[in-house]
Structures are given as structure tokens and as C-alpha cells.
């Protein structure tokens, strides 16, 4: 096979039966990304498996759907504290990650110089989960979901502060968009008056849920910055392991302090707890799979389907119509997170092109 159009360079694979002096039995084909000769693109009877276009984006949409259904089930649970739900979620995470740690022989503590980062990653990540579950329980599903989508904006801001990454005027504009969206959803009385409509329960609970969702978003953004700081020196499974173990320990301590530890009385709630753990785990698996086969930019943009699913499920199963304020806030936050994702994506493509040159 000629390499390129008209270059005339032959394929470096040896012909069948031809032996070169000092060559190993299994030769590597330079035109086939390092495949050995029997599996080379020119080997007789060998067919190259075509990649399925859009599979990574499909995984992203499926992940968004599973996360949204898990959030819906959380709203349906009665008499179970959000901290207890988080504890069950951590147990499922540990059960999933433990075989991976054993298989990859990563150990349970990680490299000595990285343990402090792993601890804070676990603490902040589990705190973000607990606060988000609390927000889901006390405020409309779509409102809490939209607020969490401002995470990319806070990630850029924290990366600028702690990692000295570039923070441009565009990043500032996207941050202002996200803050505007959160204000439209929270609707503080000093801006919108005392008569706030379209919320669940009292405005005090709505305000507590908003603060919890914002704190959860900032904590989640902090974990992304820590993961960037650690880089590839720590296995992905080990990062999740710290998240699950520290989260479970924190949840158990908090439940005993609040005297909230109890199994749900209703069989339906027990089933929902199991389903929340399974759906959350499935959503994380599919999101990880999407990031393995697709660029981060398109995945981040497609992940805005979380908001769409949240609106649909809230209308169909919770009989709660979102207000125009919520819709406006959702548009601001989605535009902000999508703009941040597109900008980062274009920067990564430009950097990759420069490296090739």
C-alpha cells in the first residue's frame, strides 16, 4: 500500500514468508498504528473494524437520562434523608471500584505525594453529592439541575486561581451569564419582591436548596481542579475509591450525629434506594465510556441534555410546570456552560494541530 497520495513509499510490513536478519517473529506494521503483521491492514482476510460514528454522544445522552431518572427517584423517596441516600450511593461505588483496584493492582492509598490531593478530592466530591441530593429534595428538579450546570464556569475560575490557567474575557462573560441564570432561578426577594411563585414548599427551603446546589457546584468544580493537578499519575479507579470511602465515612458520622440513620419503612423506598445507586453507577460508567471514545467538548455540550430530561420528567411525573424565570435561567446557564465547553474544545484542537506541525 502506498502511504498517502502519490508518495510512493511502500508499506513497511514484510511480505509473508520473508525473514529479515535479526527481526522478531512478530513484526510491527508502521502504517497500521503498530499492529503486528498478522493483524495488519494488508494481511490476507483481515478486515478493519469501522468505528460507530456518534457512539460517544449516544453514551452521553444515555448517561444524562440515567442521572435524570435517578434524580426523579430521589424526589419520589419519602422519609429518607439525603445523607442516607448518599451513603447508599457510596456503597454501590465501592462495590463497583473494588474489583478494578484489585485487577489493576493500584493499591488502596495511592502514591505518597498524592494522598493529600486524593483526600480532598474525596471530601469535596462526596460533599458535592450530599448537597446536591439535599437540593433535589427541597427544590424543583429542573432548578437544581440547571444550577449544577454552571460547574464548567466555576472550574475555569478556580483553575485560573489555583493552577494559573488562562482566564480570558470570554470566560468572564460566561461566568456572568451563569450567575445571571442562578439569580433568575433563586429569585432573591430584594430583587423580585416577597411574592415568589413556582417553587416547592416555602421560600426558605427554596433558598436553602439554592445555596446547597451552588455549594455543590463549587465543590464539584474544585474536584475537577484537583484531578487536573494530580493528572495521570493516579488511576481513575483510585480517585473514585477515595470519593466513595470518604463519602461513606462522612455520611455515617453525619447520620449518627443527626440521629437520622434508619432503613426506610416502605418497600417502595428501599427499591428506589437500590435503583438510585444502580442508575447513578450506570450514568457514571456511560459518561466515562463516552469520554474515552469522544472528545471532551462535544460530550460537555451533549451533556446539557440533563437539563432537557429534568424539565420533561418534572412535568410528566411531578406535575410541576417550570416558570419562565426558570426557563430563562436555564438558557443562561446552558449557554454559559456550552460556550465554555466549545471554547476549551477549540483550544485543545488548536493546540493539537500546533503539536502536529
Tens-place pLDDT, residues 97-143: 888 888 888 888 878 888 888 898 889 888 888 898 888 888 888 88
Lowest mean pLDDT among 26-35, 62-71, 216-225, 279-288: 26-35
pLDDT at residue number 1: 40
How far apart CA 119 and CA 299 sit, in angstroms, is 27
Nearest-angstrom CA–CA distance, 317 and 105:
44
- 49 or 152, greater pLDDT: 152
Q: How far apart are CA 30 and CA 13, in angstroms?
A: 7
Percent of the chain with pLDDT over 70: 78
Provide the residue range defining the domain that includes 83.
55-306
Any domain includes 196: yes
Of residues 291, 281, 313, 300, the one with CA closest to residue 345: 300
Taking residues 144-171, what's their average pLDDT?
83
Residue 282 domain-assigned (yes or no): yes
Per-residue burial over 220-257, b if 16 or more Cβ lie within 10 Å, else e, is bbbbbbbbeebeeebbebbbbbbbbbbbbebbeebbee
Q: Identify the pLDDT of residue 69.
A: 92
In a domain, 177, yes or no: yes
Query: What is the number of structural domains in the chain?
Result: 1
Does the pLDDT at position 328 exceed 60?
A: yes
The answer to whether residue 16 is domain-embedded is no
Q: Look at 5-9, 242-246, 280-284 and tell me which has the smallest mean pLDDT.
A: 5-9
The reported pLDDT for the residue numbered 106 is 80
- On whether residue 193 sits in a domain, the answer given is yes
Cβ-based neighbours of 79, under 8 Å, separated by 6 or more: 264, 265, 266, 269
Cell numbers found for residue 294:
469522544
Whether 141 is in a domain gets the answer yes
Mean pLDDT of the chain: 77
Residues 122 and 242 sit within 8 Å (Cβ to Cβ): yes
Asked if residue 166 is part of any domain, the answer here is yes
User: 351 lies in a domain?
Assistant: no
pLDDT in tens, 265-287: 667 888 888 888 888 878 877 88
Amino acid at each position: 500500500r502506498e502511504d498517502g497520495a502519490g508518495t510512493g513509499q511502500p508499506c513497511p510490513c514484510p511480505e509473508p514468508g520473508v525473514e529479515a536478519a535479526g527481526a522478531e517473529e512478530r513484526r510491527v506494521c508502521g502504517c497500521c498504528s503498530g499492529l503486528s503483521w498478522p493483524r495488519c491492514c494488508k494481511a490476507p482476510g483481515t478486515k478493519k473494524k469501522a468505528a460507530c460514528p456518534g457512539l460517544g454522544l449516544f453514551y452521553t445522552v444515555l448517561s444524562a437520562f440515567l442521572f435524570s431518572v435517578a434524580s426523579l427517584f430521589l424526589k419520589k423517596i419519602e422519609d429518607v434523608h439525603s445523607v442516607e441516600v448518599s451513603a447508599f450511593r457510596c456503597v454501590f461505588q465501592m462495590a463497583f471500584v473494588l474489583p478494578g483496584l484489585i485487577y489493576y493492582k493500584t493499591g488502596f492509598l495511592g502514591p505518597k505525594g498524592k494522598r493529600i490531593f486524593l483526600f480532598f478530592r474525596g471530601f469535596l466530591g462526596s460533599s458535592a453529592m450530599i448537597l446536591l441530593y439535599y437540593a433535589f429534595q427541597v427544590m424543583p428538579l429542573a432548578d437544581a439541575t440547571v444550577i449544577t450546570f454552571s460547574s464548567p464556569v466555576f472550574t475555569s475560575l478556580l483553575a485560573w486561581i489555583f493552577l494559573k490557567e488562562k482566564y480570558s474575557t470570554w470566560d468572564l462573560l460566561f461566568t456572568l451569564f451563569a450567575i445571571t441564570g442562578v439569580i433568575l432561578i433563586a429569585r432573591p426577594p430584594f430583587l423580585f419582591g416577597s411574592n415568589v411563585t413556582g417553587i416547592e414548599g416555602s421560600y426558605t427551603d427554596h433558598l436553602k436548596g439554592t445555596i446547597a446546589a451552588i455549594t455543590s457546584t463549587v465543590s464539584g468544580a474544585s474536584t475537577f481542579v484537583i484531578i487536573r493537578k494530580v493528572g495521570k499519575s493516579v488511576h481513575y479507579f483510585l480517585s473514585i475509591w477515595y470519593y466513595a470511602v470518604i463519602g461513606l465515612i462522612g455520611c455515617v458520622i453525619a447520620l449518627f450525629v443527626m440521629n437520622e440513620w434508619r432503613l426506610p419503612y416502605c418497600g417502595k423506598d428501599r427499591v428506589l434506594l437500590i435503583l438510585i445507586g444502580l442508575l447513578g453507577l450506570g450514568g457514571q460508567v456511560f459518561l466515562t465510556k463516552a469520554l474515552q471514545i469522544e472528545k471532551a467538548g462535544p460530550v460537555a455540550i451533549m451533556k446539557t441534555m440533563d437539563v432537557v430530561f429534568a424539565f420533561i420528567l418534572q412535568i410528566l411525573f411531578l406535575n410541576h410546570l417550570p416558570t419562565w424565570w426558570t426557563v430563562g435561567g436555564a438558557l443562561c446557564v446552558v449557554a454559559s456552560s456550552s460556550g465554555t465547553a466549545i471554547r476549551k474544545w477549540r483550544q485543545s484542537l488548536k493546540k493539537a494541530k500546533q503539536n502536529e506541525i
